[in-house]
Amino acid sequence: MTKTHPIPPAKQDRVVIFDTTLRDGEQSPGATMSHEEKLEIAAMLDEMGVDIIEAGFPIASEGDFNAVAEISKRSKNSVICGLSRANFKDIDRCWEAVKHAAKPRIHTFIGTSPLHRAIPNLDMDQMAERIHDTVTHARNLCADVQWSPMDATRTEHDYLCRTVEIAIKAGATTINIPDTVGYTAPRESAALIRMLLERVPGADEIIFATHCHNDLGMATANSLAAVEAGARQIECTINGLGERAGNTALEEVVMALKVRNDIMPYTTGVDTTKIMNISRRVAAVSGFPVQFNKAIVGKNAFAHESGIHQDGMLKNAETFEIMRPEDVGLAATSLVMGKHSGRAALRSKLRDLGVEMADNQLADVFVRFKELADRKKEVYDDDLLALVRVTEDATPDFLILKDLRVVCGTGGQSADMVMTVEGVEKTASTTGDGPVDAAFNAVKQIFPHEARLELYQVSAVTEGTDAQATVSVRLNEAGRIVTGSNADTDTVVASVKAYIHALNRLLVRRGKVGAGADAREINYKDAG
């Protein structure tokens, strides 16, 4: 056994934040991140004060193992956790990945509800024995072990108490209670935690965690109710990213605890001023834009259009705002940047927006900024952040758009395109139902493929007819799901570049170019 428990039993007012964006969040179809993107998001989570980062499921693929291992080596403050099913092979592989961390954790799980017990065809006694053996094995490897009874909220209470007691006696230091299918409600969530604390021997010596899904829109409420009942760890993701309707959103529970500390006297270690920056980055790398009216991080979260609201805001911001934009790292939109702004001014502005860039990255953004400033009268903060995202989301340039000319009107739509494929210039002339359809047909004529377009989404970065359009594209090729994104003042150009970005990422996943292909080798259910 190595290293002591990195997080002692929480004080009455301290809530541990466990982020699973890189594991459970990545299970959203199309949200798969590249190796470098995972390392980047992990570093941002570590810096913002997240207590525990669930970095992945090491046995799922070689790519997942390598990402968890590298994140473990690079972590500075956070506990690094890996997920494993209830068998020795999974647990051993998980330990091999997380053992490099200064503060490692093994998270092992098994489904305990009647529906989930039927999957491995185990009766209650056989499952109880497996829980004892696997948690004991994990504890012999690592001092910090978390155990989850998957689908806990639909597990018989007597059996849930029995399995939790077994896991505690076997050495689990954290017991996570997952609402795997988003079935519970706040009152039930709280009652379940209270029952376990009252009925299970040793429950007062470990940390109870809550892991909620948002299928009924109650994930945040259920998590906070569990905390009030005695849970001291919340499992969550940035932007609520996750399969189906998503997981508990980190930004929502953290800000709820901060804003309503009068009725929920609990604290976290999260630097809330870093929330907006990581929200934008996760949205960009996952290809899942944040809905405009999303709490805390949505574009409209601090916008006021009603005349009465605007008047009140001008007189006293507290009339219609319960928190300040700067509390979550949101800078007020400004128009100070233009075509005469220099590189030093750009670096300073980006720093104000929470973006630090190396000199070579800044040089790329500066070129794009100058090009944009020549086409756009007013360059907003969001425009700059869009340029940064385009630069950071670069992939190996197997396919490159060189020239695009689109004709559209009542007489029909056509596209003439020049594109390079592995450095070889190719051309196409096509028609379509609209300019984007015509342009996409041209791409497919130049580079034939079988990938199916599953998502095409356009959103304006800022206001005005000269606004940049951000386009997200999701492709599915035989189960390989990738997303691409791009921004441009020309919506058709942004669309084609996003499409090509997705194709380039698909080629990386195929192993055609670059490295880090990360196709899942096995299917698995989450631990929540």
pLDDT tens, position by position, 245-292? 999 999 999 999 999 999 999 999 999 999 998 998 898 888 788 888
**Where is average pLDDT lowest: 256-265, 332-341, 380-389?**
332-341
Reported confidence tier of residue 11, pLDDT bands at 50, 70, 90: low
Write down the domain spans for the chain: 16-286, 301-330, 331-392, 399-510
Rg of the chain over all Cα atoms, to the nearest angstrom: 24
Residues 141-167, mean pLDDT to the nearest whole number:
97
Reported confidence tier of residue 455, pLDDT bands at 50, 70, 90: confident
Contact in structure between 395 and 501 (CB atoms under 8 Å): yes
Average pLDDT, the chain: 86
Contact in structure between 488 and 497 (CB atoms under 8 Å): yes
- Which secondary structure element, helix H or strand E, spans residue 361, and what is its range? helix 359-375
Quote the CA–CA distance of 423 and 402 in Å, as a whole number.
Answer: 11
So what's the pLDDT on residue 127? 96
Amino acid at residue number 258: K
Tell me how far the alpha carbon of residue 132 is from its chain's centroid: 32
Residues whose CB falls within 8 Å of the CB of residue 240, separated by 6 or more in sequence, listed in order = 214, 219, 246, 247, 248, 249, 252, 294
Amino acid at residue number 218: M
- Which secondary structure element, helix H or strand E, spans residue 255, and what is its range? helix 250-259
Neighbours of 471 (CB within 10 A): 25
Residue indicated by tokens 């200064």:
102
Residues annotated as binding site?
Answer: 24, 211, 213, 247
Say whether pLDDT at 49 is over 80.
Answer: yes
So what's the pLDDT on residue 317? 53
Tell me how far the alpha carbon of residue 135 is from its chain's centroid: 28
Reported confidence tier of residue 437, pLDDT bands at 50, 70, 90: very high
- Return the CATH number of 16-286, one of 3.20.20.70, 3.30.450.20, 3.40.50.12780, 3.40.50.970: 3.20.20.70
Amino acid at residue number 273: T
Q: Which two tokens stand for residue 267?
A: 């604290």
Contact in structure between 495 and 401 (CB atoms under 8 Å): no
- Return the CATH number of 399-510, one of 3.40.50.2300, 3.40.30.10, 3.30.499.10, 3.30.160.270: 3.30.160.270
So what's the pLDDT on residue 312? 45
Quote the CA–CA distance of 312 and 310 in Å, as a whole number.
Answer: 5
Reported confidence tier of residue 347, pLDDT bands at 50, 70, 90: confident
So what's the pLDDT on residue 508? 83
Residues 146-163, mean pLDDT to the nearest whole number:
97
So what's the pLDDT on residue 380? 74
CA distances from residue 159 to 153, 166, 317, 514 in whole angstroms, order as listed: 12, 11, 52, 49
Per-residue three-class SS string for 392-458: HCCCCCCEEEEEEEEECCCCCEEEEEEEEECCEEEEEEEEECCHHHHHHHHHHHHCCCCCEEEEEEE
Question: Which of the residue ranges 32-36, 312-316, 335-339, 486-490 has the most confident prediction, judged by mean pLDDT?
Answer: 486-490
Higher pLDDT, 204 or 373: 204
Give 134-143 pLDDT, tens digit per residue.
Answer: 999 999 999 9
Residues annotated as binding site for Mn(2+)?
Answer: 24, 211, 213, 247
Residues whose CB falls within 8 Å of the CB of residue 526, separated by 6 or more in sequence, listed in order = 23, 24, 27, 150, 180, 243
Contact in structure between 250 and 279 (CB atoms under 8 Å): no
Reported confidence tier of residue 369, pLDDT bands at 50, 70, 90: confident
Give 479-517 pLDDT, tens digit per residue.
Answer: 888 888 888 889 999 999 999 999 998 888 777 554 433
Quote the CA–CA distance of 292 and 303 in Å, as a whole number.
Answer: 10
Quote the CA–CA distance of 120 and 114 in Å, as a whole number.
Answer: 11
- Which secondary structure element, helix H or strand E, spans residue 178, and what is its range? strand 174-179
Reported confidence tier of residue 340, pLDDT bands at 50, 70, 90: confident
Name the β-bridge partners of 425: 420
DSSP 325: G
Say whether pLDDT at 8 is over 60.
Answer: no
Say whether pLDDT at 155 is over 50.
Answer: yes
Beta strands in 194-323 (DSSP E): 207-212, 233-236
Reported confidence tier of residue 174, pLDDT bands at 50, 70, 90: very high
Neighbours of 156 (CB within 10 A): 12
Q: Which two tokens stand for residue 435?
A: 């300019």
Nearest CA among 126, 58, 120 for reference residue 89? 58
Say whether pLDDT at 336 is over 70.
Answer: no
CA distances from residue 449 to 102, 386, 493 in whole angstroms, order as listed: 45, 29, 20
Contact in structure between 36 and 2 (CB atoms under 8 Å): no
Give 283-324 pLDDT, tens digit per residue.
Answer: 888 878 888 899 999 888 876 443 444 344 345 455 546 888
Quote the CA–CA distance of 33 and 20 in Å, as a whole number.
Answer: 13
Quote the CA–CA distance of 447 and 419 in Å, as a whole number.
Answer: 9
Q: Which two tokens stand for residue 396?
A: 């190996």
